[in-house]
Amino acid sequence: MRHLSVPFAPALRKPEDLITMVENRTVISRPQFELNVFETHLQADNVRLQFDDLVFTSMLRGKKVMHLKGDTHFEYYPGESVILAPGEEMRIDFPEAKESNPTQCLALAVNQDIIRQTIHLLNEQFPKAEDGDMWDITWNQFHFRNNDQLADTLSRLVKLSFEPHQSRDLLANLSIQELIVRLLQTQARKVLIDHASENSSKNRLAFAISYIQSHLGEVLCIDKLSEMACMSKANFHRSFKRELGFTPVEFIQKERIQLAKKLLGDMSLSLTDVCFRSGFNNTNYFFILFKKLTGQTPGEFRKLTPVVH
């Protein structure tokens, strides 16, 4: 079973309440954003959709195929999100949608003022580690898998939007700001982690990340990593958490579990071998952490993993 960070999904509309079977739209408008819940209960192609503001979308149920500007197209599944610039058109196919298997997707159109205010606040009070490196939306990092923090924040925002209490708008505005921060962290994390080696000469965190990725099977000391990044231990921890959304120790754990998942495909390795080759020195801790991060034990994961020849 693959672990997916899927936001809270509102209940599907009853068939008699649907205005249309293709992209039936439920709209909740608030001062700083507009929340749209789209449902499609019928196979369809080339459905066009466009928003005047930045739009953050997240799949909840089913599958669709997104076509964006140029020749960009991709399959879109639950646990994934997409951001689009104001005015950018989406063309959407629903190859598997039907009444028994509808698609459901959130589209959150966010007021430009609160985006600018949040980015300005981050750059003023929580600057990035490298001088001249500013927080901003990276438009080429538009399609990504949710992390738990992003999904939890979006879930809280959706639930608040449907609640009737008077403090709803205030709490929703705070959640919108948190969502923007989580989005920026998600994009920064993808750039730093996926391109660590090529950025290691100009970014201290990327240098540390590249070193971690190359030495997962060895002892990794935070004191040494912070020295390599030319930072105090406290500043290294703070900068890492701020820009990536998790601590250096949490990152090392995640990377080692990813390595273990690859090694589990080699049936010549015992579970103990996989544990130690992944950098863990305690099998009980390895089994507990693997189950926590993947939802499966190493043995259960191995049974569903293609064998490496």
Render 247-290 in DSSP notation, one character per residue: -HHHHHHHHHHHHHHHHTT-TTS-HHHHHHHTT-S-HHHHHHHH
**Residue 308: what pLDDT?**
56
Name the β-bridge partners of 144: 81
Give 280's contacts (C-beta < 8 A, 6+ positions apart): 256, 260, 286, 289
3-state secondary structure 7-62: CCCCCCCCHHHCCCCCCEEEEEEECCEEEEEEEECCCEEEEEEECCCEEEEEEEEC
CA distance 173 to 93: 32
Question: Structure pTM?
Answer: 0.81
For residue 258, what are its two tokens?
């990813």
* Residue numbers in the chain where pLDDT is lower than 50: 1-3
Strands 89-94 and 143-145: unpaired
Give the amino acid at 63: K
Work out the number of other CB atoms within 10 angstroms of the CB of residue 284. Answer: 9
**CB contact at 8 A, 290 and 282:** no
Distances (CA, A) of 300 to 79, 135, 258: 22, 41, 15
Using CB atoms within 10 A of its CB, is residue 282 exposed (0-12), middle (13-18) or buried (19+)?
Answer: exposed
Residue 8: exposed, middle, or buried by beta-carbon count in 10 A (0-12, 13-18, 19+)? middle
**How many Å separate Cα 273 from the centre of its chain?**
31
The two structure tokens encoding residue 214: 């190359």
Using one digit for the tens of pLDDT, what is the confidence trace for 99-125? 999 999 999 999 999 999 999 999 999
Q: In terms of Cα–Cα distance, which of 21, 15, 24, 60 is closest to 42?
A: 21
The conformation of residue 147, written as its DSSP 8-state character, comes to P
Q: Report residue 172 as tokens.
A: 């929703």
End-to-end CA distance of the chain: 23
Q: Please list the residues that pair with 80 across neighbouring strands.
A: 145
- What pLDDT does 3 receive? 47
**Both structure tokens of 203:** 């970014």
Bridge-based pairing state of the strands 64-67 and 33-40: unpaired
Order of strands, sheet of 73-76, starting from the edge strand that comes earlier in the sequence: 44-50, 89-94, 64-67, 73-76
Q: Treating both helix axes as pointing N-terminal to C-terminal, what angle do 233-244 and 168-194 enclose, rounded to 10 degrees? A: 110
| Confidence (pLDDT) at 151 | 92
- Look at residues 227, 217, 230 and name the one whose alpha carbon lies nearest to residue 269: 217
Count of positions (residues) in the chain: 309
Residue range 242-296, pLDDT digits in tens = 998 889 999 999 999 999 999 999 999 999 999 999 999 999 999 999 999 999 9
**pLDDT score at 1:** 36
